[in-house]
Amino acid sequence: MAAGVRARDIRATLLINALKRLQNLHPAPLPDKMAAFGISGGVGDGLKRLFMTHPPLEERIAALEAASD
C-alpha cells in the first residue's frame, strides 16, 4: 500500500514539474494585430472556454497539487 501511494506521489510530482516547464514555454498573449486570429475573452469566458481541449495549465497544476496533499 505504501509503495503504491509513494509511486502516485512521484508521478504527480513529475506531472506537476512537466506542466510547469510547459507553462514557462507557453507563448505570450497574441499581439493586438494578431488578436483577430485568436478567440478573444478571458480564460473562463464564452467560446474560448467551450472550445478548449484541456483546462488551462494553472488549473491542471493546482488540481495535481491538491490531489497530492
CA of residue 51 relative to chain centroid, distance: 15
For 12-59, how does the pLDDT look when each residue is reduced to its tens digit (9 = 90+)?
999 999 999 988 886 666 566 655 666 555 555 667 777 778 888 889
Q: Give the Cα separation of 2 and 8 in Å (integer).
A: 10
User: Distance between CA 30 and CA 28 in Å, rounded?
Assistant: 6
The pTM (predicted TM-score) of the whole model is 0.60
Domain count, the chain: 1
Q: Does residue 1 surpass a pLDDT of 60?
A: no
Can you give the pLDDT at residue 43?
Answer: 52
| DSSP secondary structure of 37-56 | GSPPS-TTSHHHHHT-SS--
pLDDT at 15: 93
Domain of 20?
2-68
